[in-house]
Amino acid sequence: MRERALIADLLAPLATHRAARGLTDDAAVWLPPLGREVVLTHDVIACGTHYLPDDPPSDVAWKLLAVNLSDLAAMGAEPVGVLLGLTLGGHEDDDWLRGFVAGLGRALTHFEVALLGGDTVRWGGAAVLGCTAVGQVPHGCALGRDGVRVGDAVWVSGTIGDAGRGLAVARGEAPHDKRLLDRYRRPNPRLALGRALVGTATACMDVSDGVLIDAQRLAAASGVGIELDLAALPVTGDCDEAERLIRATAGDDYELLFTAAPDAELAALATAKVPLTRIGRVVAEPGLTVLGAHGLITPARLGWEH
Amino acid sequence: MRERALIADLLAPLATHRAARGLTDDAAVWLPPLGREVVLTHDVIACGTHYLPDDPPSDVAWKLLAVNLSDLAAMGAEPVGVLLGLTLGGHEDDDWLRGFVAGLGRALTHFEVALLGGDTVRWGGAAVLGCTAVGQVPHGCALGRDGVRVGDAVWVSGTIGDAGRGLAVARGEAPHDKRLLDRYRRPNPRLALGRALVGTATACMDVSDGVLIDAQRLAAASGVGIELDLAALPVTGDCDEAERLIRATAGDDYELLFTAAPDAELAALATAKVPLTRIGRVVAEPGLTVLGAHGLITPARLGWEH
Q: Of A104, A138, A172, at which residue does a domain stop?
A: A138
Q: Does B57 lie in the same domain as B126?
A: yes
Do A157 and A242 lie in a common domain?
yes
pLDDT value of position A28:
98
Same domain, B280 and B158: yes
> Is the pLDDT confidence value at A2 over 90?
no
Query: What are the residue ranges of helices labelled H in A92-161?
Result: 94-111
Task: Quick: pLDDT tens for A70-86.
Answer: 999 999 999 999 999 99
Are B42 and A206 within 8 A, CB to CB?
Answer: no
Distance (Å, rounded) from C-alpha B210 to C-alpha B164?
9
What is the span of the domain harbouring residue A12? Answer: 3-19+33-138
**Local confidence band at A19 (pLDDT 50, 70, 90 cut-offs):** very high
Most distant CA pair in chain B, distance = 63
- Mutant choice from B128, B137, B204, B208 vs A, greatest count of A C-beta within 10 A: B128
Say if A116 is an interface residue toward chain B (CB within 8 Å).
yes
**What ipTM did this prediction achieve?**
0.96
Domain identity same for B157 and B128:
no
Distance in Å, alpha carbon of A296 to nearest chain B alpha carbon: 27
In a domain, B10, yes or no: yes
Q: Give mean pLDDT, residues B45-49.
A: 95
Indicate if the pLDDT at residue B258 is higher than 90: yes
pLDDT at B306 over 90: no
Min CA distance, A270 vs chain B (Å)? 22
Give B6-31 pLDDT, tens digit per residue: 999 999 999 999 999 999 999 999 99
pLDDT tens digits, B197-212:
999 999 999 999 999 9
B196: pLDDT strictly greater than 90: yes
Q: How much is the pLDDT for B128?
A: 98
Q: Are A141 and A271 in contact (CB under 8 A)?
A: no
Nearest chain B CA: its distance from A248 CA (Å): 20
The CATH number assigned to the domain holding A90 equals 3.30.1330.10
* Same domain? A77 vs A190: no
> How many C-beta neighbours within 10 Å does residue B263 have?
7
B306 part of a folded domain = no
Q: Report the domain count for chain A.
A: 2
The binding site of A for Mg(2+) comprises: 26, 41, 43, 71, 119, 206, 209
CATH number of the domain to which B184 belongs: 3.90.650.10
> Count of CB atoms within 10 A of residue B176's CB?
9
Cβ separation A41–B123 shorter than 8 A: no
Same domain membership, residue A185 and residue A95: no
In a domain, B302, yes or no: no
A171, A280: one domain: yes
Are the Cβ atoms of B125 and A128 closer than 8 angstroms?
A: yes
Residue B303 lies in a domain: no
The DSSP-derived string for B154-210 is EEEES-SSHHHHHHHHHTTSS---HHHHHHHHS----HHHHHHHTTTEEEEEE-SS-
Average pLDDT, stretch A229-254? Answer: 96
The pLDDT value recorded for residue A38 is 98
Q: What is the mean pLDDT of chain A?
A: 96
* Chain B CA closest to residue A43: B119
Q: What percent of chain A has pLDDT over 90?
A: 94
Among B25, B47, B123, pick the best mutation site for testing chain A contact (most A Cβ within 10 A). B25
Give mean pLDDT, residues B143-168.
97
- Out of A97, A112, A138, pick the residue that ends a domain: A138
The whole-angstrom separation of Cα B215 and Cα B207 is: 8
pLDDT at res. B12: 95
Residues A116 and A188 both lie in one domain = no
Residue B143 lies in a domain: no
Domain contains A160 = yes
Same domain, B241 and B180: yes
Does residue B121 register a pLDDT over 90?
yes
- The domain boundary, picked from B138, B171, B202, lies at B138
Is residue A105 scored above 90 in pLDDT? yes
Q: What is the pLDDT of residue A182?
A: 96
Q: Which residues contact B241 (CB under 8 A, 6 or more apart)?
A: B230, B231, B292, B293, B297
Q: Which of B3, B29, B41 has the most A C-beta neighbours within 10 Å, making it the best mutation to test the interface with A?
A: B29
* Whole-number pLDDT of residue A3: 87
Same domain, yes or no: B163 and B289: yes
What are phi and psi for residue B48, nearest 5 degrees? 95, -20
Residue of chain A minimizing CA distance to B206 = A26
Residue B80: inside a domain: yes
Contact B130, B42 (CB under 8 A): yes
Residues A174, A258, single domain; the answer is: yes
Asked if residue B267 has pLDDT above 90, the reply is: no
Cα B67–chain centre separation: 4
- On whether the CB atoms of residues B12 and B117 are closer than 8 A, the answer is no
Residues B272 and B200 in one domain: yes
Helix (H, G, I), strand (E, B) or coil at B76: coil
Interface of B with A in 10-69 (CB under 8 A): 21, 24-32, 34, 37-44, 46, 48-50
Q: Is the pLDDT of residue A267 over 90?
A: no
H or E segment and range at residue B291: strand B287-292
Instruction: Answer yes or no: is B147 within a domain.
Output: no
User: At residue B102, does pLDDT exceed 90?
Assistant: yes
